[in-house]
Amino acid sequence: MGTPEVVTMSELLEIPKKRGKYGEGSCYQRSDNGRWEISFYDNEGRRRRQSFSTEAKARKALTRKLALKEVGKLDAPEGRAKTDTLADAYVRYIKNSKPKSHKWADRIWHIHLKPFFSGRLATRVGTVEFDQYIEERKAGVSTDAERERNGTINRELAVLKAMYNYAAQLDPPLVSRVPKFPKRLRESDPRSGWLDDEQYEALHMNCKYKWLHGLLAVAYNFGFRKAELLGLKVRQVNLKDRTIQLLPGTTKNDRGRSVKMTDDVYKHLAPCVEGKQPDDALFTWEDGSPVRDFRVAWAKVCTAAGVSILLHDFRRTAIRNMIRAGVPEKTAMKISGHATRSVFDRYNIDSEDDLADAAQKLELRQIGRKLVTEGATIGQQSANH
């Protein structure tokens, strides 16, 4: 056997490295931690790296990545954006596009979401973090109040999800994927307060403010929201045509809508318009100042009338009354300002009277069918004789 050839270090450094073909990427083992790492360039010329525990896993991943690159389906690179960046981008977006929701979303982020999620990489937030957040938000809450807190948590996570969805749609996106958010927690059942005609008349009989007469009439007949009622200007009320017009941008969903006054509404709104300029507020106190906070006046009239009711219950009542009167659901939704059927269904709740009426109709149907059957039997017997 011959003497093995000795290669010096200087000669070793001069040996050219064997390079792979362009576009095939590389797979190598790191000397510092022993892990296998792949490296390749995507279609935009950005270098991608990823490490694996074994060579087999690394080479399999490299083959898959290159195949996805070839057909243009390679995932976007995992970003380093933090949840704070997502929140800033989203709040800035809704400040311009949805100004009515801006303060609400900004408050939810700073008061509730930020103390828990701030500083975290957006791509590292997932099921574990969501569960921890829910657990912390429920801490110290009694069993009776848990469903009410669940509703609050649902809305907070909805804001966080909106932040992720917006971040994923940006160009370039701040996140490559939106995490799977937990299912909605069970909330409290909606209020079931109703107002009947007798209670409505009792409120009017014990009311000493002409503006409150008008507000009660519009709320009871059309189910307008509180902000929509207090935001009405004189120019939005046309006594000649008997119409009330809610302008785009003044409603919750920013959509305008018009309604025709009933005689009841016309009777109580006419005094609210008298002697005012078009840009004056429709509902004003005796000194002409717009009505903003009327909790004391509301409590007094309810106490005097012996009625325990909230203004929002008028909205639910108006919807039920319209359906009972035979108004098509689509038209009722336009009048009340409901944009989605799911929200509309939440308020169209059957009362005890509705259930009793339904039972009576079913009984009448059964009696009618029984009479028809008996009549047919008697007729058949008469024919046989």
Q: What is the DSSP string of 286-303?
A: TTSPBP---HHHHHHHHH
Contact 160, 112 (CB under 8 A): no
The full length of the chain comes to: 385
Residues of the chain with pLDDT under 70: 1-23, 75-79, 189-192, 249-254, 342-359, 361-363, 369-370, 372-385
Q: Is 138 helix (H, G, I), strand (E, B) or coil?
A: helix
What tokens does 191 get?
A: 């209020």
What are 197-221's pLDDT values in tens digits?
999 999 999 999 999 999 999 999 9
CATH of domain 197-347: 1.10.443.10
Specify the pLDDT at position 13: 46
Measured CA to CA in angstroms, residue 171 lies from 80, 142, 174, 175 at distances of 15, 45, 8, 10
Q: Where are the domains of the chain?
A: 20-70, 83-169, 197-347
User: Which of 371, 376, 375, 320 has its CA nearest to residue 350?
Assistant: 320
Specify the pLDDT at position 17: 43
Buried b (16+ CB within 10 A) or exposed e, 152-186: ebbebbebbebbbebbbeeeeebbeeebeeeeebe
User: Which of 191, 124, 188, 126 has its CA nearest to residue 157?
Assistant: 126
Record the pTM: 0.55
What are 87-96's pLDDT values in tens digits?
999 999 998 8
Specify the pLDDT at position 251: 61
| Distance in angstroms (rounded) separating the CA atoms of residues 273 and 275 | 6
